[in-house]
Amino acid sequence: MKITRAQAQANRAHVVETASTLFRERGYDGVGVADLMAAAGFTHGGFYKHFRSKADLMAESAACAITQAAAQTAGVDMSEFVRIYLSRTHRDGRGTGCTMAALCGDAVRQPEAVRTTFAVGIESLLAALSQQDISLEGADAGQARARSLDILAHAVGAIVMSRACPDDAPLADEILSICRDKILASLSPSATTSTPVGARATS
């Protein structure tokens, strides 16, 4: 029986969503097309009715997950973002966590289309995070972007390092704790408004 266009679109979206979860859990090389389609409840042959290649699906699933993350991040207080991101819950939730932390290491070895998707995704996350700094006294767009980039890179790196350790390793928790505390300290009013040492010396 021929399916409707609406059903075909729904099936495609379901494959993208399934792929997004599996790729984050297992990495791009850890998921084959046959396994992916089986997990989505479809046959292997149906894959090429929706996508030209696995790389196309990799790019689309990453874009979908990152767009959702950026939308959820917009308007969230930076301190709250850091606490949620650098938590054990996020660390252990590979399949539902940040695509950047889960797949940046894999993306570097993928086709340009996939890496371009990640670059666009990083920009969208930076834009969402930077909005929190624009309204701060003395913070212009360039300063807000620089601080957001520093925080995002610090947070992603912390999750990657923590996940590389055994789940019950004290070091895994220590990495999250130290990095979370350092970032939060940098966000405190005293850290952002303190007078430079040279200025204090001459005042």
Percentage of the chain modeled with pLDDT above 70 = 88
- Using alpha carbons, select from 47, 54, 69 the residue that is nearest to residue 23: 54
- Give the tens place of pLDDT for each residue, 99-142: 999 999 999 999 999 999 999 999 999 998 887 666 554 568 88
Q: Output the pTM of the full model.
A: 0.85
- Whether pLDDT at 15 is above 70: yes
- Whether pLDDT at 201 is above 50: no
Domains identified in the chain and CATH numbers: 54-192 (1.10.357.10)
